Structure 1
Amino acid sequence: MLRLILPVALFLISLLTIFPAPAYPLWLLAIIVDEFPWIPILVTFICLLTLKNVQYPLVSNLLLLGALLLFISPIIRAKMIANDLAKNVSANFGQADHWLRASTQSFSIAKIFNSVRNIDYITLPYKYNKMTPLSMAFYPSALGGKRPCVIVVHGGSWKSGDNTQLPELNSILSREGYHVAAINYRLAPDSQSPAPVQDVKDAIAFLKNNAEKWHIDTNRFVLLGRSAGAQIALLAAYTLNEPCIKGVIDFYGPADMVWGYSIPSNPLIMDSRKVMEDYLGSSYDASPKNYENSSPILFASEKSPPTLLIHGENDVLVAYEHSRRLNLKLQEKGVPHYLLTLPWATHGFDYNINGPGGQLSTYAVSYFLNSVTR
């Protein structure tokens, strides 16, 4: 019976590829299962070859085969999405330059085993908050001349995290010819909305003032945010009225704070209402206007810049519904946009830039940037 425990455990773990994680530790495990699929595939394959003399061999083998198929499923589904990804993004944002279409695959199984060499960044203080500098990690473009700049806003529930998070995409974009400025911003509960949006505005002003030194094209900025940072990036893009913002990229961000408060996340994952109250200063009942003023979906209009949305359907921290609702609003307003839906993926799937979700999202980001900054 003890030998049957491992097949049962692997099968239950494999269900994370199709069902949302029910608890915080399982959410972390889901990232490994979904975006490092070769690990559970290898473990399951070894079990199939080595587990002998079990009491119920047929049950054991069926469980292991079922687990193996589910562990492989993110790769299969990623390949299916990849087949139409270039066509879908080009239909919404126009054709990208020839070099991107010719040299870049949206998904490669072989690439799952690769790593990314991060480049060095330069720390630049861009403003002071109570005598403490807010800084940006600046990745200069690998190409010469005046180049567009991507401003990256980190996640962390508005109260934690910093600009060193997930540097791999910053390095990739720098090599592709973009300056990347990953910013720190004022955190809750000491600072509340809209303080981080003002920080984005000040970061843009700083980069413009130093454009000649760093060879920045001041007419071509794109905002990119993850999770809480995506809410900040979207709100900045839709409310700052900066013509230099040519696009905004939203990785699994909360776009509708009013709806998000009404449908809290699983408390075994995160107390989402407490997180929002710390950021917005009160409950929704006490200050509904704060939630409305911090909901990007309510500010999306015909004048909003092109928007790329990227979200996993199994996200247990920020519901996929946020992106679905914003996608409909942008469609209604006629804003060029695209929602890249990853059916197996959970929150933070791009922790592995070369995983199935990481590869697809990186391709979509590269295509989007190439299109909106031409």
Structure 2
Amino acid sequence: MVLSVVLLLLAAAGLGLSLWIVLPAPVFALLTLSIGAAEVSPWLMLWNLVVLGLAVLGFQHSRPHQVALVLACGGLALSALPLLQLPAAQKQFSAAMAAAFGPDYEARIAPQVRARMRSAPFSLIDSFRGIADLPVPVTSVQLARTPVPLRVDIYRPPAPGPHPALVVIYGGAWQRGDPGQDAQLSRYLASRGWAVFAIDYRHAPAWRFPAQIEDVRAALAFIRQRGAEYGADLGRVALLGRSAGAQLAMLAAYTPGLLPVRAVVSYYGPIYLADGYADPPRPDPIDTRSVLEAYLGGPPAAQSERYRLASPGSYTDRPQPPTLLVYGERDNIVEAKFARRLAQSLRASGTQVALLVIPWAGHSFDAVFSGPSNQLALYYTERFLAWAVAETKNRS
């Protein structure tokens, strides 16, 4: 009887955690569960499988044991959902990349560069052991002549340059964060030949837009002036941002700047800010309207021009740098419908753009670096970036 009760508790825990793979977070405090459950689904599968195996092997005709068996089956089914959806997503993403950048886009990447990339979109082994990266030198530099102290963290490849440069911009609702946030991607790409500049910006509500994009441009000016000292090839620059940082990355890429931008990657970045205010997600765990008001100084009715200028979707009237949009279908902070709309507008403008919507993923899916979502995103992101900065001039 004691074994049955223990199994029941373990099965209930497994099912309870697995339910968050399909449940949206109603409040901010539950976001970690809602986002993280899908990204640790291989671990949840293992948990549920072990409990199910113990329940079958030690089967007893008791009510707790029978309930444990049912709960373990339910937990296993839920935790398997991301991996069951993965093959179709991979096929769809490969087709989207080929349609946007050419069926032979990977062939345009130098063989020695391809050899350093991940060999498959997903590895179950890596879900458990993690994705390896090599140690790389990191230098922190303070920007001069900025209203508040701002730093740039520079991750340098082990080999001598020049190397393509990637500017990484963190997220955090424009209110929090620092350049060291999510450093694993910066280390990973630096270890594979990128000079990575993780940059900083002023935070709302103390500083309203356009302070943040001004800081991004100040960082780009620093890279233009001193990037070569850190091994960067200033003719091969790309931008990558997450969430609020993705909005800034797209804005910097889509408006005249100090550096020629070869490509931009948006991980779940806001796009149409006035529309996001008018039609917030339901449930809305971060109170989208209050976040936008803190960033832009009020609602759209009072700050219509700021909302327009801060929206990457406002700049699709002309061709833009090649763009990769990576969003989660279950994101209830920045909904994927806005990315679909942007992709359509960019294509109409003559921009090469691929949209990858991960069926099971929520916001900040890459917080679990070895999770199924980030493995997929990383596989296609590094190929997109390598294609975009390839030495050949004709990439189409």
Please report the TM-score for the alignment, with normalisation by the length of structure 2. 0.87
Q: What residue in structure 1 maps to residue 24 of structure 2?
A: 20
Identity rate, percent: 33
- After superposition, residues 83-98 of structure 1 pair within 5 angstroms as 83=91, 85-94=93-102, 95-96=105-106, 97=109, 98=111
Q: What residue in structure 2 maps to residue 65 of structure 1?
A: 73
CA deviation after TM superposition for structure 1 residue 67, in Å: 1.8
Distance 1:290 1:262 in 2: 15
Q: Is it true that 1:314 corresponds to 2:318 in the alignment?
A: no
Distance 1:74 1:101 in 2: 27
| Pair 1:346–1:295, CA change in 2 (3 A) | same
Distance 1:279 1:312 in 2: 23
Q: Is it true that 1:126 corresponds to 2:130 in the alignment?
A: no
Q: Secondary structure, in 3 states, of the residue corresponding to 1:338?
A: strand
Q: What residue in structure 1 maps to residue 122 of structure 2?
A: 107
Instruction: Single out whichever of 21-30 and 164-173 deviates more from structure 2.
Output: 21-30
Distance 1:213 1:5 in 2: 58
- After superposition, residues 30-41 of structure 1 pair within 5 angstroms as 30-41=34-45
Q: Secondary structure, in 3 states, of the residue corresponding to 1:150?
A: strand
Q: Can you list the C-alpha shifts for 1:255-307, whole angstroms capped at 9, x where unaligned? A: 01011101224566111111111110111222222111111101123321111
Instruction: Single out whichever of 235-244 and 106-115 deviates more from structure 2.
Output: 235-244
1:43 to 44, 47, 68: 47
CA deviation after TM superposition for structure 1 residue 225, in Å: 0.6
Q: What residue in structure 2 maps to residue 227 of structure 1?
A: 243
Q: Secondary structure, in 3 states, of the residue corresponding to 1:186?
A: coil
Distance 2:174 2:193 in 1: 30
CA deviation after TM superposition for structure 1 residue 343, in Å: 0.7
Distance 1:242 1:212 in 2: 15
Please report the TM-score for the alignment, with normalisation by the length of structure 1. 0.92
2:218 to 192, 198, 202: 202
Q: Can you list the C-alpha shifts for 1:176-229, whole angstroms capped at 9, x where unaligned? A: 211000011111112111221121211111111113322221112111110011
Instruction: Single out whichever of 2-11 and 178-187 deviates more from structure 2.
Output: 2-11
| Pair 1:49–1:161, CA change in 2 (3 A) | same
1:223 maps to amino acid: L
Q: Secondary structure, in 3 states, of the residue corresponding to 1:282?
A: coil
CA deviation after TM superposition for structure 1 residue 121, in Å: 1.4
2:199 maps to amino acid: I
Query: Could you tell me whether the CA contact under 8 Å between 1:353 and 1:362 is conserved in 2?
Result: no
- How many residues in Structure 1 have an aligned counterpart in Structure 2? 373
Structure 1 stretches (4+) deviating beyond 6 angstroms?
none
Query: Could you tell me whether the CA contact under 8 Å between 2:283 and 2:332 is conserved in 1?
Result: no
